[in-house]
């Protein structure tokens, strides 16, 4: 037994009265144009820019000179790319060679996010 559905009555849009705004009697005195300040230049973070001395194992990769943490990370990435140490299947992972294993605590593979943590252990 099939039951027939009743057709729903068509909905009519409700008539809305047009709302009229009262015209302002008189404008208030014109406000002076807001003076826009130039955005303040960001100050570099002193902790990132502080020169740090790398350990002997890290110095084999980035050099013995004291460098800011950001420059050390850049030099490690240059070394990784120069020696093609990124995992081809997942480029976020780094396959360590002998020099990097000393920095990475003997791990054969680390992620790029873990790498910065491991590098910071070798900076004084």
| Tens digits of pLDDT across the chain (124 residues) | 667 677 776 777 676 666 666 666 666 666 666 666 666 777 777 777 899 999 999 999 999 999 999 999 999 999 999 999 999 999 999 999 999 999 999 999 999 999 999 999 999 9
Distance between CA atoms of 107 and 117, rounded to whole angstroms? 13
pLDDT at 31: 63
- pLDDT computed for residue 43 by the predictor: 77
With a threshold of 0.75, does the pTM exceed it?
no
User: What pLDDT score was predicted for residue 35?
Assistant: 63
Predicted local confidence at residue 60, as pLDDT: 95
pLDDT value of position 28: 61
Structural domains for the chain: 76-124 (1.10.245.10)
Query: Residue 61 half-sphere exposure, CB side, CA atoms within 13 Å?
Result: 29
């Amino acid at each position: 037994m099939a039951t027939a559905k009743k057709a729903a009555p068509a909905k009519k849009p409700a008539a809305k009265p047009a709302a009229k705004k009262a015209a302002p009697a008189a404008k208030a005195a014109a406000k002076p144009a807001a003076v826009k300040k130039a955005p303040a230049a960001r100050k570099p973070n002193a902790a990132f820019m502080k020169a740090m001395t790398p350990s002997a194992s890290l110095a084999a990769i980035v050099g013995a000179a004291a460098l800011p943490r950001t420059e050390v990370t850049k030099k490690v990435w240059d070394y990784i790319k120069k020696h093609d140490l990124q995992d081809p299947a997942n480029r976020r992972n780094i396959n360590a060679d002998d020099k990097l294993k000393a920095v990475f605590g003997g791990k054969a593979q680390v992620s790029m996010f873990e790498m910065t943590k491991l590098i910071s252990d070798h900076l004084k």
